[in-house]
Amino acid sequence: MGSTFRPVLALDEPEGKSDVEVVFLTTKSNLQSVCLRVNESDFDGIPLPFISYVNISKKFLISSALLEKRLAKLKSSCFEKIIKEIVFHYSKSFYESKHRNNDSGRFIPGKSRVPYAGRVFDEKELTNLIDASLDFWLTAGPWSDKFEERFSDFLGVDFCHLVNSGSSANLLAFMALTSDVLGKRKIEKGDEVITVAAAFPTTVAPIVQYGAVPVFVDVTLPTYNIDCDRLEEALSPKTKAVLVAHTLGNPFDIDRIKSFCDKRGLWLIEDNCDALGSKYYSKSFNGFSRKNYTGGYGDIGTSSFYPPHHLTMGEGGAVYTNNATLSNILLSFRDWGRDCTCKSGQDNRCGNRFNRKLGDLPLGYDHKYIYSHFGYNLKATDLQAAIGCAQLEKLPEFICKRRENFDFLKSALKQYSGSIILPEATMNSEPSWFGFLITLNDAKLDRQKIVNTLEKNNIQTRMLFSGNLIKHPCFDSLRASKSGYRVIGGDLKNTDRIMNDTFWIGVYPGLLEEHLNFMVKTICGVLD
């Protein structure tokens, strides 16, 4: 390293008389450039005799003949760090060209898309993704550990396990409650689980797939959450759990449901996939969730990191708990069903790898290959986790923006409160809204016509997921048998109304004021 004229760092080893790519070394950090300080500890042997910065903003080709004199030699770890910083510098430039510039075009009402949801990111996500890819730890690894730790801290829960989707998180949450480890409290085939039909299908799917019986309770308007007045009616000697979601970010009545479960020894699973960042201020269980975030009040909580959600990894999810026993069961089901809790690349953490006697296996059978459950491989990758770590830093801002957009829409549409039902937050809650729900309240209004008008104007709309799940083809055989589920009260009046009269529009952080104004203008046009 060095030159006749000015110290430089060669980015590869000179060979013969070829040109070599170099970056300059400077004695001062230039705020207009990207400069990385090189410390004494970064050198093998004698360091440079002056404070040095590597200016990675510009690279040059020079003749290898000018690199005959070496002033010092960097450690390989420092050299790798510098190469990474150069890559990161160009990834930022790529983001500016490919993504930011493409997203900054002029909004044309009726022609430009107004999404119901989408990714909101910057160069930090790209930088983290590249960093993880250069390390080439393709499965769960250091970035996964970092995300799990930071996500646990955000929610105020003790244990968090990253998975490959929110649906997988729901599957794990339910299957954990079928473990023999839980003794008499385990869910058996034929046991009942209280839930709702106005839900995303993978909230209910694990119950049916295992062979338990979903017991469907109607929801209330305008909160769109489970009707707590019907819980007692739903109870039977076979009831083992309640599994419900915080609908579109609006928390259900945690005080009532948690009290109902605790008095009867029932499990509570919080599907928190649409409600990350929502808060519930419990009167009866204050302090149970250290930060009052939904997801931490139940025995197990779940999150989704699919692109429309509050933060994204592309695909991804998490399952979390404050119960150490449940945490170990969740890990087992996530990691092939094995009994061992060693992380990827880790051996013999417990010190008993070859001296256990479990099942009918011989004494000393390798504990890494002993299976206590019929499990799955539902881990996420470090590449996903790296993106998630960058997104997690933005989450408070995302939550705030979602609430602002929701408030804007509600204020603008309140003049039509006689014609439409506007969503209301559950008492003692502060939702992190996933979308803005609208239910028609005038027989003259036709949802299909309204939705078609919005879609023709490039305003994306969505139904409240399945509307009424038991009306779908996946329930055909269960409806025919009349034994695979129960409906409390004989019908689901509000659930059917949602199926027929409800839709929602977006409040995600990528929406600008011009998007919101156009949505309001278009909706007002069809309601007037």
- Both 152 and 232 in one domain: the answer is yes
Within a domain: 480: yes
CATH of the domain at 446: 3.90.1150.10
Within a domain: 84: no
pLDDT at residue 101, rounded to an integer = 65
- Both 71 and 134 in one domain: the answer is no
Strands (E) across 246-288 are located at 267-271, 279-280
pLDDT at residue 130, rounded to an integer = 95
Annotated catalytic residue, options 89, 309, 367, 515: 309
Alpha carbon separation from 454 to 418, 422, 441 (Å, rounded): 20, 18, 18
- pLDDT tens, position by position, 89-141: 888 888 888 887 665 568 999 999 999 999 999 999 999 999 999 989 889 99
Domain with 372 in it: 126-349+367-383
**What distance in Å separates the CA atoms of residue 279 and residue 276, rounded to the nearest whole number?**
9
Helix (H, G, I), strand (E, B) or coil at 315: coil
- Both 262 and 301 in one domain: the answer is yes
pLDDT at residue 98, rounded to an integer = 84
Plot region of 445 (φ>0 → left; ψ -120 to 50 → alpha; else → beta): beta
Residues 319-351: b if buried by 16+ CB within 10 A, e if exposed: bbbbeeebbbbbbbbbbbbbbbeeeeeeeeeee
- Both 172 and 312 in one domain: the answer is yes
pLDDT at residue 11, rounded to an integer = 82
Query: 382-413 vs 513-527: helix axis angle to the nearest 10?
Result: 50
- Both 31 and 155 in one domain: the answer is no
pLDDT at residue 45, rounded to an integer = 79
- Both 151 and 296 in one domain: the answer is yes
- Both 325 and 399 in one domain: the answer is no
Within a domain: 354: no
Q: Mean pLDDT over all residues of the chain?
A: 92
pLDDT at residue 363, rounded to an integer = 95
Within a domain: 138: yes
**What distance in Å separates the CA atoms of residue 384 and residue 315, rounded to the nearest whole number?**
7
- Looking at the structure of the chain, the number of domains it has is 3
**What distance in Å separates the CA atoms of residue 246 and residue 251, rounded to the nearest whole number?**
5
pLDDT at residue 6, rounded to an integer = 67
- pLDDT tens, position by position, 25-45: 888 777 666 788 888 888 887
Within a domain: 360: no
- Both 473 and 516 in one domain: the answer is yes
pLDDT at residue 249, rounded to an integer = 98
pLDDT at residue 2, rounded to an integer = 42
Task: Based on the residue annotation, tell me whether 373 is a catalytic residue of this protein.
Answer: no
**What distance in Å separates the CA atoms of residue 306 and residue 313, rounded to the nearest whole number?**
7
Within a domain: 114: no
- Residues of the chain under the 50 pLDDT cut: 1-4
